[in-house]
Amino acid sequence: TAPKDGQAAKSDGTILDLATITKNITDAVAFAKDVKDVHTLVKSIDELAKAIKKKIQAGGLQDDTDNLNGTLLAGAYQIMADADSKLTALEGKSEKFAGIKDKVISAKQKSTAFLNKLKSENATLGAASAAVSSANAKEAIDRNNATKTKGAKELEELNTAIDTLLKAAEDAVTAAINALSTPAKSASTAQSN
């Protein structure tokens, strides 16, 4: 049988529904882009951690003797709050991709756990005049710090979850693109079933 509008026939007679495949690819790419945006936000906390106990000088960043890291932590919190709200939006979009919703939920739970941990440590992380020690700031947002009792442990778990989610989103794009080369049932085969 000849392909209908929006379909293409392969040389072996299989029919591809180009409209559906195109929509699936478009949806998967848009979803993966949104996941990548959240991934970038989460990973940016690692860059903020590099600014602990630093000040800007003419030559760039230099060590600072003051322990004024509170505003830096507030910035990290705000970035993560933005990532958390984006994960909420992704949860609704994830249902059309097999096996991804649970990964979004996992990342969302870990994002919320990180935010809650920072809030629960407000006595040391929310000190007056932003007088948060470098040690406390590192325990909150430095995943490479030996002690991770003020949020870094939760941040590390979130990083693992967001990496898993990004890989799954990229796999969804690959699967959508591969539908172009995966044979669907030809019209004659479909009729005989």
Which domain CATH number covers 167? 1.20.120.240
The number of folded domains in the chain is: 1
Closest CA to 49 of 133, 140, 111, 114: 140
Q: Classify residue 1: in a domain, yes or no.
A: no
Show Cβ contacts of residue 66 under 8 Å, excluding neighbours closer than 6 positions.
55
Q: Classify residue 114: in a domain, yes or no.
A: yes
Q: How many CB atoms lie within 10 A of CB 3?
A: 14
Closest CA to 125 of 69, 185, 84, 178: 69
- pLDDT one digit per residue (tens) for the chain, 193 residues: 566 777 777 777 778 888 899 999 999 999 999 999 999 999 999 999 999 999 999 999 999 977 899 999 999 999 999 999 999 999 999 999 999 999 999 999 999 999 999 999 999 999 888 899 999 999 999 999 999 999 999 999 999 999 999 999 999 999 999 988 865 554 444 444 4
Question: Which residues span the domain enclosing 98?
Answer: 10-182
b/e map of 167-184 (b: 16 or more CB within 10 Å)? Answer: ebbebbbeebeebeeeeb
Over residues 122-162, the pLDDT tens digits come to 999 998 888 999 999 999 999 999 999 999 999 999 999 99
Q: Classify residue 191: in a domain, yes or no.
A: no
Q: Classify residue 147: in a domain, yes or no.
A: yes
Q: Classify residue 101: in a domain, yes or no.
A: yes
Q: Classify residue 193: in a domain, yes or no.
A: no
Q: From residue 17, how far is each of 4, 9, 145, 151, 193 by CA, in Å?
A: 9, 9, 52, 48, 19
Q: Classify residue 5: in a domain, yes or no.
A: no
Q: Classify residue 20: in a domain, yes or no.
A: yes
